[in-house]
Amino acid sequence: MIVDVLGVTCGYGSSTVLSDATLQVSKGEFLGIVGPNGSGKSTLLKAMSRVLPPLHGRILLQEEDIYKMRPARAARHLAVVPQEAGLDFPFTVEAVVMMGRIPHLKRFQREGPQDREIVCEALRRTNTLDLAQRLVTELSGGEKQRVLIARALAQEPQVLFLDEPTSFLDLNYQIEIMELLNKLRFEEGLTAVMVVHDLNLASQYCDNLLVLKEGKIFTAGRPAQVLTEELIKEVYGCEVKVEQRHPGGRPMLFIQPLIHRPNTTHYRVHVVGGGGSCGLLFHYLQEQGWEVSAGVINIGDSDWQEAKRQGFSVVEAAPFSEIGLEEDRLNRQAMLKADYTILPPIPFGSGNLPNLKAVLEMAERGAPVIVIDEGSIAERDYTGGEASQIYKKLLQSQVHLVESAEQAMAVMEREADGVEQ
């Protein structure tokens, strides 16, 4: 075993978040840490990566306590790819990746030919060599994520820790990053430990899954052993259907509807969802009895799961795939049937950009559109600015611009009651 976690308890201040965690990670293993929000996933990763010292217990790297190692020495063995990039300063990509060599340099020592060679190789392996002289502030979300992985690889670690490395990334970047991690562990024996929300993604790439619930390890094992209908119901509180494409294959999850409430109004709303942005809105709509459709959402997305759980009609796309022509057509049909189309503050990449284009077309045709705007579109634009341009045109159309799901509901309720806007 390369990493041993022995009875670790962690917390923040007086609050304990993770209790008595014990696990082992083998050399070259790809371990996925999964569980509901607040279950302690990121806390465990922080403890294992020498960021958050345990209140009790020990974490060993090849039988040595990582918290008794000197920081520079620990950094030569362990590297972290954080959830938030934090690349807000106008450094070049090459300079950022060179920061990964700091643990290997003596005090006041400048990088040499070997360091530059290692950085060049890290850039090559992450397909960022052509970005070397670009400023990181000019990069897309997926490009920044690859740069962070390149910086971690420049440390030449034995173990790589990643906190939701594919969140809000386009399909091509998700696959690219997961395939890169797979290649590194098979070709170079790199061990990877990753916190991940997407259970289907975890199932397809991870050797083993560690399931947390309420700050404790619930179970661990191969994806086929862990991702069962019974376990998902107990841990996540929702009904799922688990399927395998062939005997012994990796499982795929499909959510089973739990709620089928009759529509109590004659009004219909279509929600453009994705990326976990619709939970509260779906709840409000279901409570008020609106007839709801949603789309286009990838199967397995948390918004897809919630829409299916609520029994809503969903225009769906295959997991990790871009919106196709047929899905786009069905989505536009659903918008035309709706009394309102709602656009929550979802992130946009090339994969779901047709959703935004469809909303703009509805608005320009004079259809009732409600836009929930909680902040700058630039922070959610992973298209190099294309989404921002479309969004700007949308706001210049005759749309209802609100700041929250509550305000969106208020707009519809007032107009449903006959109050002139």
Kindly report, residue by residue over 272-327, the tens digit of the pLDDT. Answer: 988 778 878 888 888 777 889 998 998 888 888 888 888 889 999 988 788 999 99
**Residue 418 confidence class, pLDDT cut points 50, 70, 90:** low
Q: What span, in angstroms and rounded, lies between the C-alpha atoms of 90 and 371? A: 33
Whether the per-residue pLDDT at 416 is higher than 90: the answer is no
Kindly report, residue by residue over 197-247, the tens digit of the pLDDT. Answer: 889 999 999 999 999 999 999 999 999 999 999 999 899 888 888 888 777
Whether the per-residue pLDDT at 98 is higher than 70: the answer is yes
Return the pLDDT at 417: 59
Domain identity same for 115 and 244: yes
Closest to 296 (Cα-Cα) out of 380, 358, 370: 358
Higher pLDDT, 61 or 419: 61
Identify the three-state secondary structure at position 156.
coil
**How many CB atoms are closer than 10 A to CB 37?**
9
Tokens of 213: 């619930």
What Å distances lie between residue 372 and 186, 344, 409, CA to CA? 44, 5, 11
Q: N- to C-terminal Cα distance for the chain?
A: 65
Q: What span, in angstroms and rounded, lies between the C-alpha atoms of 349 and 338? A: 25
Q: What is the DSSP letter of 383?
A: S
Whether the per-residue pLDDT at 108 is higher than 80: the answer is no
Q: What span, in angstroms and rounded, lies between the C-alpha atoms of 339 and 29? A: 51
Higher pLDDT, 160 or 260: 160
Whether the per-residue pLDDT at 107 is higher than 60: the answer is yes
Main-chain dihedrals φ then ψ at residue 262, nearest 5 degrees: -65, 145
Return the pLDDT at 256: 61
Domain identity same for 301 and 181: no
Q: Where among 187, 219, 251 does a domain terminate?
A: 251
Domain identity same for 293 and 400: yes
Return the pLDDT at 5: 97
- CB 303 within 8 Å of CB 276: yes
Return the pLDDT at 209: 97
Residue 84 lies in a domain: yes
Asked if the bond preceding 296 is cis, omega within 30° of 0, the reply is yes
Domain identity same for 276 and 213: no
Look up the CATH number of the domain holding residue 357.
3.40.50.720
Return the pLDDT at 419: 44
Domain identity same for 294 and 238: no
Q: Where among 251, 278, 302 does a domain terminate?
A: 251
Share of the chain above pLDDT 90, in %: 50
Tokens of 190: 């790199």
Residue 337 lies in a domain: yes
**Residue 3 confidence class, pLDDT cut points 50, 70, 90:** very high
Q: What is the pTM of this model?
A: 0.61
Q: Where among 225, 251, 277 does a domain terminate?
A: 251
Average pLDDT for 165-175: 76
Whether the per-residue pLDDT at 396 is higher than 70: the answer is yes
- CB 307 within 8 Å of CB 316: no
Residue 256 lies in a domain: no
**Residue 361 confidence class, pLDDT cut points 50, 70, 90:** very high
Q: What is the total count of domains within the chain?
A: 2
Return the pLDDT at 331: 94
Domain identity same for 225 and 329: no
Domain identity same for 198 and 297: no
Rounded mean pLDDT of the chain?
Answer: 87
Whether the per-residue pLDDT at 109 is higher than 90: the answer is no
Domain identity same for 332 and 225: no
**Residue 164 confidence class, pLDDT cut points 50, 70, 90:** confident
Return the pLDDT at 14: 80
Tokens of 360: 């703009």
Which region holds residue 300: left if phi is over 0, alpha if psi is between -120 and 50, else beta?
Answer: left
**The domain containing residue 350 runs over which residues?**
268-416
Domain identity same for 128 and 214: yes
Domain identity same for 117 and 183: yes
**Residue 355 confidence class, pLDDT cut points 50, 70, 90:** very high
In sequence order, the 6+-apart residues with CB closer than 8 A to the CB of 141 are 85, 168, 169, 173, 349, 382
Average pLDDT for 329-337: 93
Average pLDDT for 360-380: 87
Domain identity same for 238 and 281: no
Domain identity same for 305 and 345: yes
Q: What is the DSSP letter of 381?
A: B
283 - beta bridge partners?
none
**How many CB atoms are closer than 10 A to CB 420?**
5
Kindly report, residue by residue over 256-271, the tens digit of the pLDDT. Answer: 654 444 445 568 899 9
Return the pLDDT at 263: 47
